[in-house]
Amino acid sequence: MARVTVEDCLQNVENRFDLVIKAAKRAHMLELGEADPQVPLDNDKPTVVALREIAEGKDITKTRLNQFDEDEADEEEAPSMMAMGSSIDVQVGQSKE
């Protein structure tokens, strides 16, 4: 495929917003080496490879993207959990005095 168009990709996703999210997550996975490309690389950047995969209807979203979402959610919760732990330590320390 010489050029990827939005119209090519929209045949395989619900809307443009979903396309952006899926392509960005897939490109990130390709960049980090967490996934193997399902189309020939042809010296393209990960973003173009992700869009080509979507345009060709490759199955890229079932498990890996969901796992990617869960990993991000865990990272976002970590600081708040650490803050909760420090406030508990302060409360316990005050009650001992």
Determine the pLDDT at residue 62.
Answer: 54
How many other C-beta atoms are found inside a 10 Å radius of the C-beta of residue 10? 15
Same domain membership, residue 3 and residue 47:
yes
52 & 77 share domain: no
27 shares its domain with 72: no
* pLDDT digit string, tens, across residues 15-69: 999 999 999 999 999 999 998 999 999 899 999 999 999 999 998 765 555 666 6
| Shared-domain flag, residues 51 and 74 | no
pLDDT, residue 59, reads 86
pTM, full prediction: 0.62
Q: Residue 71 — very low, low, confident or very high, per pLDDT cuts 50/70/90?
A: low
Q: Is the pLDDT of residue 2 over 90?
A: no
- Section 86-97 average pLDDT: 56
Where on the phi/psi map is residue 13: left (φ > 0), alpha (ψ -120 to 50), or beta? beta
Residues 7 and 43 in one domain: yes
Domains held by the chain: number: 2
* Residues 46 and 10 placed together within one structural domain of the fold: yes
Same domain, 76 and 47: no
Q: Give the range of the structural domain holding residue 12, as residue numbers without chain letter.
A: 1-61
